[in-house]
Amino acid sequence: MAVHAPFKVGMKEIYLPDFKLAFIRTIHLPANYASFIVPLWFSKLDLRDYLYHGYNLRIGPVIRSYVQQSRIRQGQVPSPTRPQYKRWHRPRSTKRMTVELERPFAWPERPDDLTAWNKEETKMANEEQGPLGKRLGPEGDQQGISNDRRTSMREQAKALLEGREKWKPGVSRGLGTSG
C-alpha cells in the first residue's frame, strides 16, 4: 500500500535532478527552520516536493523565498567576442528559500581534530595513483600515450584512409600498450 503525501503533489517528475540546492548553516534562525540557496526558477512547490520525495522530509506551512540581488561591480564582463575592462555590471542574483521543518534539525558538532580520518585508505589510494600521476604529470605526456604508440596510431590511421587496410570493429591492430 503506497503512502501518499499529506498535500497535493506536483506533476513534475524529477528522477535525476539537473539543479543544485545548497543547505545553508544559519545562526540567526531557530532550529526548526532551514535555509537553502536554490536556482532562480525554483518555486516553493518545487522545494516542498523535492524535500518530501528526496528526503521524506515534511515541512510546515511557512515557506519564504526572496531573490537577493548581487552588488554592482566594476571589472571584466564575461563576453564571448572581446574582453571589456572597467565596465560596471551586476552579477547574477541568487534565490534563497527558508522553510519551517516539522522537527528541529541540529547540526553536528564540529570535530576538534581535523586530520585525515582514514589514513590507511588515503595512503593506498596515493600508492595506486602514483604511477598514473607521474605519467600524466607536467614532464610526461598529458594524455598518457607514448610517442611510439602515437606514431603507430598515425600510421594505422593513414593506412585506413588510403584504403590499404579495412577497418573492422573490435579488432586489435597491434597497438602497443606501453604508455
pLDDT one-digit tens code per residue, 70-88? 898 877 656 666 666 677 8
Provide long-range contacts, Cβ within 8 A and 24+ apart, for 50-53: 50/14, 50/17, 50/21, 51/99, 52/5, 52/9, 53/9, 53/14
Q: What structural domains does the chain harbor?
A: 7-72+87-106 (3.30.70.330), 128-162 (no CATH)
Does residue 12 or residue 165 have the better pLDDT?
165
pLDDT in tens, 124-153: 888 888 777 666 655 545 555 677 888 888
Integer Cα distance of 155 and 150 in angstroms: 9
Would you say the pTM of this structure is higher than 0.85? no
The gap between the terminal CA atoms of the chain, to the nearest Å, is 57
Integer Cα distance of 18 and 122 in angstroms: 31
